[in-house]
Amino acid sequence: MKLSTLLTSAALALGVAGGAYADAHEKTKVGFVFVGPVGDGGWTYEHNQGRLAVEKEFGDAVETVFVESVAEGPDSERVMTQMALDGADLIFTTSFGYMDPTINIAAKFPDVKFEHATGYKRADNVSTYSARFYEGRAIQGHIAGKMTKSNIIGYIGSFPIPEVIRGINSAYIHAKKVNPDVEFKIVWAYTWFDPAKEADAAKVLIEQGADVILQHTDSTAPQAAAQEAGNVITFGQASDMAQYAPSPRVSSIIDNWAPYYIARTKAVMDGTWESKDTWDGIGAGMVSIGEISDAVPADVKEEALALKASIADGSYHPFTGPLKKQDGSDFLAEGETADDGTLAGMNFYVEGIKGDIPK
Amino acid sequence: MDLSVINPVLFVAGFLVAATPLIFAALGELVVERSGVLNLGVEGMMIIGAICGFATAVETGSPILGFFAAAVGGAVLSLLFAFLTQITLANQVASGLALTLFGLGFSALLGQRYVGVKPPRLAEVNFGPLHDIPVLGPVLFSHDIILYLGLVLVAAVWAGLKFTRAGLVLRAVGENHDAAHALGYKVVRIRTLAIMFGGACAGLGGAYISLIRVPQWTEGMTAGVGWIALALVVFASWKPWRLLLGAYLFGGITQLQLNLQGAGVAIPVEYLAMSPYVITILVLVVLSADKNAAPASLGRTFHASS
Amino acid sequence: MVRLEKRPQPSRAFSWATPILAVIATMIFGGLLFAALGKDPVASIQTIFWEPLFGDFAFYYRPQLLIKGAPLVLIAIGLSLGFKAGIWNIGAEGQYIMGAIFGAAAGLAFYPTQSVFIFPLMVVAGAFGGWIWAMIPAVLKVRFGTNEILVSLMLVYVAEQFLASMSLGLLKNPEGFGFPGSRNLQQYASAHNGELIAGSGMHWGVAAALIAVIFAYVLLTRHRLGFAIRVTGQAPKAARFSGVNPTRLVLFCMGVSGLLAGLAGLFEVAGPAGQITIDFNVGYGFTAIIVAFLGRLHPIGILLAGGLLALTYIGGDIAQSQLGLPAAAIQVFQGMLLFFLLAFDLFTQFRLRFGQAEVI
C-alpha cells in the first residue's frame, strides 16, 4: 500500500511536470469545460462560438479541446485534471459552479493557466472573467420604456441570484427614466433550462398585460410566444435570436466571448498571461447589442444607440445616483456610481419595483 | 398584489395547451401499464419524438408530417424496449431507464443541425363563428388540431378499454398474464403493440413541445415532462378521464404559480412546484383502499414456460 | 423454429460470459456509431476502455474510478437487497439528496467549531436523512399498500425542489456574495471527508462501499435474513409459510437502501463535491438502479458493474476531450452497453432450442 502510494505521488508529480513541458510544444493547447451541451443554443453555445473563434484566429498554432455537459463537483475536477495532464496550457471553466474545483485543480498544476467565468476566487494561475450584461439591460430598459403602451413590462428570471437581480434593476432604472408610469412584472422560472416553462411564463406575462418581455433565460420560447400574441416586443438573450427579427425581437444582448478568449490565448502564447479579474461590458465587446430592428421608431433607436455609445466609452454608468433601494433607504447619492463589489453581490431591488425577491 | 390581472379565460386556455404534451405521453403510458408493462422510458421516447417531429417539419415544411414522423419515431424507439422486455425478458425498470439514457443521447446526435432553427407553425383550426363566442370561444375554439386530437384520443382510449374486445383482452393480459395466456391470448404480441402505442403517443407529446408549445429544438428540451407523465398515470389510477383531469391539474398548478407571481403574490415557488408530486402520493394513499386500481401484473416479466 | 427454454438452474458459465459478450457487442456497434460520426472507431473504443486503466495517466484515473464508482456501488448494494425481495425502491436519487442535505446541515450547524465529533455526527445525520426519506414509501406500503415504485419516484422530485430551496435559502453560504450554494465543506476540516491516503482516491465513501459489498455478501449467503430476502423474491407465498414477516422485510430493505443512499450523498457532499448546490445531484441514484441490474443483484457483480459504468463515464470524458466525440455519442454508447447487457442476460436463465416444440 505504502509503495503504491509513493509511486502514485511520484507519478502525479511527473504528470505536473508534464504539464510544464507542454509550454515547449509547438501548439498552444486550450481546454474548455462546458456545463451544458454545445447545442443548448444559449450559454454554452456562445462559449463554444468563442472557442471556434480562437481556432479560426490562430489556425494551426492552437489546438482546442472541450468536454460538454460536465457536472459541477468532482466530475469537473476530473475533466480539468485530464486536460492539464494532456498538456493544456490554458483552461476555460465556464460555469459559476466550477469555482472551487478550478481553484483546487489550479493549485495542483501551477504551470497551467485557468480562467473561471463568473466567479470571485482567484489565484496566481487563475483569472476570473465575466460580462457586464447589465449594461445591455440598460439599453433594453430604455427601448422597453419608450415602446410599451400598456406600461407593463414582463421579466422572466431564472433563479433569484445577484446576476439576474442586477439585470432587473438596470432595466427598470432606464425604463423608469423615460416612462415614469412603467411597471415591472417579474416571474421566476426556478430553472436554468426548461423551454416549455419559459414559454408558459411569457404567455402568462402577456396575458397579464405585458407588451414587452425581457428574459434572463436562454431559449427562444418567449420569442415565439410573443410572436403568436402579436403587438409584443422581445429581446434576444445570449444569442442574437435573429430568426425572430424584426419583430417581436427588436434587439438582443449577445454573449460575445470571442475577443476575450482570443486575447487570453494570445497572452499565453506570448508569455504575458497574468492573473486578473476581468469584468468587461459593451466597451470591450464582451457584451454585444444585436441590431436594433426597424420595429423600433427611428428616434428611439437613435437614443438607444447614443446610450450604448456613452456606456461603451465609459462616460455613463448604468447605476448612477441618485438612486434609492426598494425599502426607501439610500443606495447612491447624486452623481455617485455603484462600485463593482456592490454590483457583484446585489441582492435588493431599487426603489419602485414591486414585490419581494424570493428567499 | 392584484389578482384581477389574472384573466380566467386566458388562464384556462393556457393550461389546456400546457397539459397537452402530458396528456399524450401519459395516455400512451396508461395503455402500456394497463397491459401490465411498466416503461420508465417515456422521457426518452418523448425527446426522440420531439426531434423527429421537428426535423421532419423543418425539412418538409409541414407540421402535420412532423407529428406523423414523431409518432413513428417514438414507436420505433419503443420497439427496442419491447424487444428487451418481451423477447429477451430483461427487467422493465432497468430497460426503461436505459431507454431514456439512449433516447436523450440519440436525439442530441440527430438534432445537431437544428439548433436555432425556427420550425413552420401549425395554424389554429378554423371554427368560423364559434371562435367569436365570448369565453367559450377563446377557451375551446382557438387551438391547433393536435390539441383536439389529444382529447379525442382520451375518449377513444376510454371507450376502447371499456367497450371493445381488444380492450378487454389488453386488460386481461395486464391483470393476469398467465391466465390470459392459458385462454390463448398472445401476451407478448399484445404487450408489444401496447408498448408501440405508448411510444407513438410519447413521440406526439414530445413533438407538441418542440413544434407548438415552445417551439424550438434544443438538447434535453423535454426537461422531465416524461417523468411527470409517469406520475400522472398513477394519479389517474389508470383511468383515462381522471388522467385528463390530472393533466389539467398538473398543468394548471404551473400556470397558477406563474400567474400568481405575475400578480405580485409572494409564494414559495419550490414548495408549490413540489405540490403535484405530494398530491400524487396522497392520491395513491387514498386509492389504496381500492385494491384493484393498479394492473396486477404491472412490471412483472412474462414467459410462457414459467 | 427457435424457442426459449428455461434452464433448471441459471447457467454459471453464461452469467460470466454474457457481460463479456455484451461489452464486445457494444464495442462493435459503438465503433460503427463512432465511425458514422467520422471518428476513428478503434481509437475511440480504446480511449474509453483502455486509457483510464492502462494509459499514460492511469495513475490519476484509477483513483478516480473509485471516486466515481463508490456512490454507485454503495447505492446499488442497498437497492439490490430490496430488488431481490421484489421491493422496488427507485427513489434512491431523492434519498441521496436528503442524505446530503441532512449531513451537510448537521456539519454546518457547528461551523466554524472544530471537533472530531462533527464528522461522525454528519454521517449519522446523512444516514438518517436517507433512511427517513425511504421510510415514507415503506410505511405507506406497509400501512396502506401503496406502490413503492411510484411513491419513491415522486419523492425524488420533492427532494430536488427541497434541494433548490436549501441552496437558495437556509444553507446558502453567508459569505458567498449572494450566489446559491452552501459553504464548501472541503474547507471545513472537521466536516471534510478527505482522502484517507493522499492520491489514492480512497475516502470514507469508498470504504463504506467496500464494507457494504462484504456486508451484503455475508447477509445474503450466511444470514437468515438473506434467506428471507431470496425466498420472498422467488416465491412470496412460500416465504410466508416459512415464517418470513413481509412487513418487517419491506421496512428493512427500504430502510437499508435509503440509509446507504443517504450515506452516499453525505460522503459525496462532504468529500468530492464539497457543497450543497442546486445541481448537486447528478443522477447517481438512477444510475445505481442500472448498476444493480447489471451486477445481477449480486454484491460482487455490483462492484464490477459499478466499476464498468464509472469507466465509461471517465473514458467517455477523455474521448470527448481527446477525440472531439460529442457527449451525446457517449450517452448513446452507454445506452447500447446497457441494452446489450440486459438482453444477453437472457442466456443465463434460458437456452435456445432449435426445432419444433415438443408436443406435450
SS3 for B228-284 is: HHHHHHHHCCCCHHHHHHHHHHHHHHHHHHHHHHHCCCCCCHHHHHHHHHHHHHHHH
Q: Among residues B69, B30, B34, which one has the least CA distance to residue B48?
A: B69
| 8 Å CB contact of A37 and B108 | yes
Determine the average pLDDT of the residues in A267-295: 93
Structure confidence by residue, pLDDT tens digits, C124-141: 999 999 999 999 999 999
A240-264 mean pLDDT: 91
Partner-chain residue, chosen from B80, B99, B105, that has the shortest CB–CB distance to C331: B105
Backbone angles phi, psi at A33, to 5 degrees: -110, 120
A56 has which bridge partners? none
Residue C221 in any domain: the answer is yes
- Pull the grid cell for residue A298: 427611428
- Cβ C329–B299 below 8 Å, yes or no? no
Distance CA(C101)–CA(C94), nearest Å, equals 11
Among A85, A100, A347, the residue with its CB nearest the CB of C57 is A85
CA distances from B206 to A262, B21, B25, B33, B106 (A): 39, 6, 8, 19, 14
Q: What is the CATH number of the domain that holds C277?
A: 1.10.3470
Number of domains chain C is built from: 1
Domain ranges of chain B: 3-287
The per-residue pLDDT string of chain B (306 residues; one tens digit each, 9 = 90 and over) reads 567 777 888 888 888 888 999 999 999 999 999 999 999 999 999 999 999 999 999 999 999 999 999 999 999 999 999 999 998 888 888 899 899 989 999 999 999 889 888 889 888 787 877 777 877 777 788 788 999 999 999 999 999 999 999 999 999 998 888 888 988 889 999 999 999 999 999 999 999 999 998 888 988 888 888 988 988 888 888 899 999 998 998 888 888 888 888 888 777 777 877 887 888 888 878 877 766 667 877 877 777 654
Tell me which residues of chain C have a pLDDT lower than 70: 1-2, 354-360
Q: Which residue has the higher pLDDT, A318 or C189?
A: A318
Is residue C130 within 8 Å of residue C96, measured between CB atoms?
yes
Contact criterion met (CB < 8 Å) for B91 and C153: no
Q: Among residues B213, B164, B186, which one has the least CA distance to residue B302?
A: B186
How does strand A28-33 pair with strand A62-67? parallel
User: CATH classification of A2-131, choosing from 3.40.1050.10, 2.70.98.10, 3.40.50.10490, 3.40.50.2300?
Assistant: 3.40.50.2300
User: Most A CBs within 10 Å: which of C60, C62, C197, as the mutation test of the A interface?
Assistant: C60
Instruction: Assign A79 to helix, strand or coil.
Output: helix
CB-based burial, A39-65: b 16+ in 10 Å, e otherwise: bbbbbbbbbbbbbebbeebbeeebbbb
Task: Give the C-alpha distances (Å, rounded to integers) separating B178 from B174, B187, B302.
Answer: 10, 9, 8
In angstroms, the CA C332 to CA B47 distance is: 14
Neighbours of chain A (3+ CB pairs under 8 A): B, C
| CB contact at 8 A, A348 and A359 | no
Cβ contact, residue pair C321, A82, below 8 Å: yes
Full 3-state SS string of A305-329: HHHHHHHHCCCCCCCECCEEECCCC
10 Å CB burial of residue A314 (0-12, 13-18, 19+) is exposed
Specify the pLDDT at position A177. Answer: 94
Confidence category of residue A25, pLDDT binned at 50, 70, 90? low
What pLDDT, on a 0 to 100 scale, did the predictor assign at position C176?
Answer: 81
Residue of A40, A207, A209 lying closest to B219 (CB–CB): A40
Q: How many CB pairs under 8 A join A and B?
A: 112
Determine how many CB atoms are found less than 10 A away from the CB of residue C175. Answer: 6
User: What is the location of CATH 3.40.50.2300 in chain A?
Assistant: 2-131, 133-254+288-344
Q: What is the average pLDDT across A284-310?
A: 94
Q: What is residue C360's predicted lDDT score, i.e. its pLDDT? A: 43
| Domain containing residue C273 | 73-321
- Asked if residue A3 has pLDDT above 50, the reply is no
Nearest Cα neighbor of B229 from B72, B20, B36 is B20
pLDDT surpasses 50 at A16: no
CATH topology classification for B3-287: ABC transporter involved in vitamin B12 uptake, BtuC (1.10.3470)
DSSP states of A7-51: HHHHHHHHHHHHHHHGGGSSSEEEEEE-SS-GGGSSHHHHHHHHH
Query: Which one has a higher pLDDT value, B123 or A87?
Result: A87
Interface of C with B in 117-176 (CB under 8 A): 136, 140, 144-147, 149-151, 153-155, 157-158, 161-162, 164-165
ipTM for the complex shown: 0.89
> pLDDT at position B269, please?
78
- Give residue C239's pLDDT: 79
How far from B214 is each of A197, A222, B11, C211, CA to CA, in Å?
Answer: 9, 8, 17, 49
A133-254+288-344 CATH choice from 3.40.50.2300, 3.30.70.870, 3.20.20.330, 3.30.565.10: 3.40.50.2300
